[in-house]
């Protein structure tokens, strides 16, 4: 049975902190609010766009639906200005593909903009499926999207791995009974959970799967 690798996006494949923060600060400036640092915005990432906006405007009284819609407009227009691929990701995905492994993406970022970002960065051809928010599945830590990927690619839990930088990735993997790989170079933390493996770089991820 082929191996199914399910990657998170932000903080795992791409460093999108600067673009996310720029969009937040554009809207905050429009609202007459002080700007946030990139590190502040980084701490709000991981539970989807609505939670990101809620946390980024928690210090102010705003019309959340209006601010959320404005954030979407701003971010979708400038989502790949400062965003970079993490070192080793593009070459590593090519190696995994050549080795016959199936790579997919499961992200809490909206699916449409996720696919657009991957395409602009030249990563989309490496993924058989990309599932994001608004694609019909509950957000992580729910395992609903992960289970859908397993069903689509006809693999069982023993042949599937969830790879990400956030405790929601680990929780989704655990709920689906798949092995979990936490990458420490991203935005999040394990929240005292115990993933199957820890990696400090994407190259370590690739080496692990090529040798397993």
Block mean pLDDT (10 aa), the chain, length 212? 94 98 97 96 91 95 95 96 98 98 98 97 99 95 98 98 97 98 94 95 98 89
| Cis-peptide, bond into residue 211, ω within 30° of zero | no
Residue 212's pLDDT is: 84
Query: 129-133 and 160-164: which strand pairing?
Result: unpaired
Residue 46's pLDDT is: 79
Residue 159's pLDDT is: 98
Q: Are 79 and 22 in contact (CB under 8 A)?
A: no
17-77 in CATH: which number?
1.10.150
Q: Domain residues of the chain, as ranges?
A: 4-15+83-211, 17-77
Say if domain 4-15+83-211 classifies as CATH 1.10.10.10: no
Q: Are 71 and 53 in contact (CB under 8 A)?
A: yes
Which of 130, 150, 146 has its CA nearest to residue 138? 146
Active site residues: 8
């Amino acid at each position: 049975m082929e191996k199914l690798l399910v990657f998170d996006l932000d903080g795992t494949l791409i460093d999108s902190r600067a673009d996310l923060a720029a969009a937040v600060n554009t809207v905050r400036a429009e609202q007459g609010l002080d700007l946030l640092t990139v590190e502040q915005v980084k701490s709000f990432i991981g539970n989807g766009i609505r939670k990101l906006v809620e946390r980024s405007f928690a210090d102010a009284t705003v019309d959340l639906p209006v601010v959320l819609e404005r954030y979407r407009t701003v971010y979708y227009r400038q989502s790949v200005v400062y965003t970079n691929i993490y070192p080793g990701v593009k070459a590593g995905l090519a190696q995994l593909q050549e080795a016959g492994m199936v790579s997919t993406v499961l992200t809490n970022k909206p699916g449409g903009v996720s696919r657009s970002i991957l395409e602009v960065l030249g990563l989309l051809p490496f993924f058989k499926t990309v599932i994001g928010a608004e694609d019909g599945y509950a957000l992580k830590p729910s395992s609903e999207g992960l289970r859908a990927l397993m069903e689509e690619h006809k693999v069982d839990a023993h042949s599937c791995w969830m790879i990400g930088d956030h405790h929601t990735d680990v929780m989704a993997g655990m709920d689906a009974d798949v092995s979990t790989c936490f990458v420490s170079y991203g935005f999040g933390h394990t929240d005292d959970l115990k993933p199957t493996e820890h990696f400090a770089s994407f190259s370590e991820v690739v080496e692990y799967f090529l040798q397993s």
